Chain A
Amino acid sequence: MSKLLIVIPAYNEEANIARVVNHLITNYPQYDYVVINDGSRDKTAAVCRAAGFHLIDLPVNLGLAGAFQTGLRYAAENGYDCAMQLDADGQHRPEYIAPMLAELEDGADIVIGSRFLTVKKPKTLRMLGSYIISWSIRLTTGRAICDPTSGMRMFNRAMVEEFAQNLNYGPEPDTISYLIKNGAVVKECQVKMGERVAGQSYLNLWNSVQYMIKMSISILLIQWFRKRDTETPYPERSL
């Protein structure tokens, strides 16, 4: 079995983090994990230290992309075969890790834990953004990604290294569309997600609209101009 690292980015998740990580440790001790505290203003780091969780504590807030990249750099430097993102709010259920890992070992670069592979995506306002992004990816790559905004993604070793070392590799749908265009094999795996139990979601209406505009412009326009370069070292690279 491949050596998997579960990256758990946490920003202001003191209410959820202990439950999520304890569930993972008790029921799935075969996987390694690391909590990345993204400069939280609440007691997330203190809760993790008190419970003895494996923690990387960022001294300033970097945002999801930076926190996740930290986890991938850790995975790359410590010889993991693959890595995945698991949200600290408990929406991502660890029982789906095994089927996702099986898909990855079956020869995928990226496996997305998708809510809508076999289940119909509801036609609600909340899903409008997901529809627009799916449609943009379909239009620019010809590939159908049913749940592009799902944060539950698993990456193989090559992707881990590429994500860990480069600029503009946020764990977002635009990067996925760019990688598909460059020949990466992206598969989806049906999962169920829970609802956030406690704490506040970052996604309000205004943030969602901003995110949608950014993703649409990025996928439809900007990704065409990017050049994939896995050879030349960038200043950002330090592995």
Chain B
Amino acid sequence: MAGLQDIRRRIRSVKNTQQVTKAMKMISAVKLRKSQERLVALRPYAGKMMDVVRRVVGRIGGDAEIQPGSAAQAFLAPREEKRIRVVLVASDKGLCGGFNANVLKAATAFVEQTSSEIVHLDVVGKRAAEWARKRKLNAAREYLNVPITGFQHVVTEISEGAAAQYHAGEIDALYVIYNYFNSPVAQTPTVFKVFPMELDRRAEGRDAIEVSHLLEPDPNAVLETLLPRFVETELLRNLLESSASEHGARMAAMDKASNNAGEMIAKLTLTMNKIRQASITNQIIEIVSGANA
């Protein structure tokens, strides 16, 4: 049986750990709120943008005068997907439950089942970079320790690069693998195709009349500015989804850890008290028997 001293030491150590996990939980809660606020604010915009692009682009028939090689073509005329660019978004730090494991599992599955060649891989977060190295996938660019304020920069770089590669015929599609933020305690690893868009060309939307949109002043000019904006918005949303998911996952993990530590302390305290009582009883018996003698 462990001595009283040993148990006291263990209780102290578990208490220290609990303090750390409690602090981490609170920090994550604050960070979660920040990310979540931005995400919740952006989602309606991104959703509307998606609706508009689907409606407008989905209705442009083959008769529209779309210049070949323009940005609009990336959405209108998907090519056979031979070469693709993939952006993998995970976190820099661990201690966030299944957050990284899940998204990396999804990434592994995607890499194994895809028939296209991944010609360009961007990784966001140290965990994603480590995964790529372990699997001998050469990441073209590693974005490490990017603060939430730096997301816009990353997004612009990736979207501009991808657009140029698409025009040059180096890639046929852009994918993002990230954690979708359902709620602070639930994330879904998601594989999202940014472009070309999979458009449902059948009757879409609520409009009864099927009329192509007038694109003023001219279709190419409008699409040329709209589509890069759309790609940027979607990428930014994906990064924010991942960031909010990460902090949510860490908060949940740290909450669990704090609770576990609490349970352990209760158990150890019980054992300690038992031992103490046993020793007191022993001492009393000794005194009593000594007095009797």
Decide whether A and B assemble into one complex. Answer: no
Chain A residues within CB distance 8 Å of chain B: none
Which residues of B are at the interface with A, using a C-beta cutoff of 8 A? none
